[in-house]
Amino acid sequence: MLKILSLLLLMLFVGCDRPPRHDPPPPEKRPREVPLILLEDLRFLQKTIETVHPSPFTISSQKAFREFLSRAGEGLRGDEDPLDLWRLWAPVVASLGDAHTNLVPPTALLRQKLRKHPVTFLPFSPLLYKGRIFVHTSADRDLRKKDEILSINGESAADLMKRLLAPISHERRAYAESKLENNLPGFYYMITGNSGPFRIRLARDAARLEVRVAGVSHTLGGPRIARGARSPFVLDVQGRIARIEINAFADHRAFTAFLKKAFQEIAGKGVRVLLIDLRENTGGNSQLGDLLIQRCFTGTFVQNLEVSIRVSPKTRMLYKTVPGFSGAKDGTLFGVYTYRGPFKTLRPRPPFTAVHLITGPATFSSGVMFAAAFANFSTGSIFGEETGGNANHYGDMLRFSLPKSGLVLTVSHKRFVTRRGARGGVKPTIPVVPTLEQRFGEGDPQLDAILSRLKEPAP
């Protein structure tokens, strides 16, 4: 080591006696080129969104989208796997602000990697409240219920929330947080790649602590999963009030069988008030929503007041039998349907004297359509919180596979108007929002408050 140092010093001093050299200027640094094999994917993603989506640049401008996409391609080596690419590109797609237009996480690949190389996950399930992270359930004794997470591995909770929410396509932040709350440990690993142990700063009462916790071999589901894990369809009868919980408009056979059995049971119990609970309804087949409305009400209704389709080569093939569609110009919005009839036309079907609805931040897609139809055509009350999806939104996803990586891209090709002039989601007529303390409690305090109100004698 001393010989090498002496040699360097000698070279330095000898060099001082020599005339100055005139070296050529260093070559100009050029931005790293995106590998051609991935450039094809980026071009496909951009072209597909810009030609299929009804109005992709409502939230983000076309220029901003393309610049974001270009930045997401910088620095690629060319040997990234689909999970690496998803981490880079999903935030670009999510920036469009359409929850149906989404780069789907490659969860099958992730499972394969975890089988070969097991990792450990954050040892708690979270409760997210107004942008803050709290411990709801913990598998580590150093983390307690109600602890507020201030940072994980040196990254502040605010920065971490921003990073974890970025790849989740959403219209309203409340919806994205409901998805993140369901499985924050899984999202955390998928997005950061960090495995245990974890260094966590937290607030407990008035104290600030730092703990080092080991990870766990499985992810802990959030409180929303725990509440809705029983079944996609639930019937609960309490005296004269029956509650049916529909967590997805899916599985036509199971759905219709549930409705038949539930309404048969209701008929023999003296029920007069029906409460439809869509707080965890993430959508599905809107025709099943039609069946539910027909079971509960008499009268006419529609779920969408206006429907339009973006004309493109893809949709031209899908809707060639729609009169006038094949002759429409590419890139235009083709109006398929507009409702011009009356509202408030639905009446509770006997034995019900009243039908009410509960919605929340996880209510999405076909769940939102149902809530809008309920608001437009029934006289019942909507309890709870604003829906997670916008009342007027884009949807009916088409699926595409990126040609090189195989990542799945879903893109809306229809625009739905369910509440003319509405901004945001379908809003409750009677808001019932649980406090932070109530959300930590056992049971379902939000539902308890709604049932208590319905059981009060009429004035």
pLDDT bucket at 458, cuts 50 / 70 / 90? low
Average pLDDT over residues 404-416: 96
CB atoms within 10 A of CB 259: 20
Average pLDDT over residues 180-195: 93
- pTM: predicted TM-score of the whole model, two decimal places: 0.88
Q: What is the pLDDT of residues 303-344, one digit of tens each?
A: 999 999 999 999 999 998 999 998 999 999 999 999 999 999
Peptide bond into 167 cis (omega under 30): no
pLDDT bucket at 1, cuts 50 / 70 / 90? very low
Tell me how far apart the alpha carbons of residues 233 and 163 are, in angstroms, rounded to a whole number: 34
H or E, element range at 287: helix 286-296
Burial of 340 (0-12, 13-18, 19+ CB in 10 A): exposed
Average pLDDT over residues 112-123: 93
**Mean residue pLDDT across the chain:** 89
pLDDT surpasses 70 at 268: yes
pLDDT bucket at 253, cuts 50 / 70 / 90? very high
Average pLDDT over residues 8-19: 34
Tell me how far apart the alpha carbons of residues 246 and 289 are, in angstroms, rounded to a whole number: 10
Q: What is the pLDDT of residues 189-214, one digit of tens each?
A: 999 999 999 999 999 999 999 999 99
Tell me how far apart the alpha carbons of residues 413 and 188 are, in angstroms, rounded to a whole number: 31
Question: Cα 222 to the chain's mean position, in Å?
Answer: 15
Higher per-residue pLDDT: 38 or 374: 374
Average pLDDT over residues 104-119: 91
- Say what the pLDDT of residue 326 is: 87
- Say what the pLDDT of residue 238 is: 92
Is residue 40 within 8 A of residue 404, CB to CB? The reply is: yes
- Say what the pLDDT of residue 226 is: 46
SS (H, E, C) 234-270: EEEEECCEEEEEECCECCHHHHHHHHHHHHHHHHCCC
- Say what the pLDDT of residue 38 is: 81
- Say what the pLDDT of residue 6 is: 40
Tell whether the torsion through CA atoms of 270, 276, 279 and 284 is positive or negative.
positive
- Say what the pLDDT of residue 232 is: 85
Average pLDDT over residues 10-31: 40
Q: What percent of the chain has pLDDT over 70?
A: 89
Contacts of 111 (CB under 8 A, 6+ apart): none
Which range has the worst mean pLDDT, 5-19, 43-57, 196-210, 388-402?
A: 5-19
Tell me how far apart the alpha carbons of residues 327 and 316 are, in angstroms, rounded to a whole number: 9
Higher per-residue pLDDT: 107 or 426: 426
Q: Which of 54, 56, 75 is nearest to 65 (CA)?
A: 56
- Say what the pLDDT of residue 164 is: 96
Q: Which of 434, 291, 315 is nearest to 366 (CA)?
A: 291
Is residue 94 within 8 A of residue 45, CB to CB? The reply is: no
Tell me how far apart the alpha carbons of residues 226 and 182 are, in angstroms, rounded to a whole number: 9
pLDDT bucket at 228, cuts 50 / 70 / 90? very low
- Say what the pLDDT of residue 224 is: 54
H or E, element range at 85: helix 82-94
Higher per-residue pLDDT: 458 or 55: 55
Tell me the one-letter amino acid at 9: L
Average pLDDT over residues 287-308: 97
Which range has the worst mean pLDDT, 75-84, 125-134, 259-268?
A: 75-84
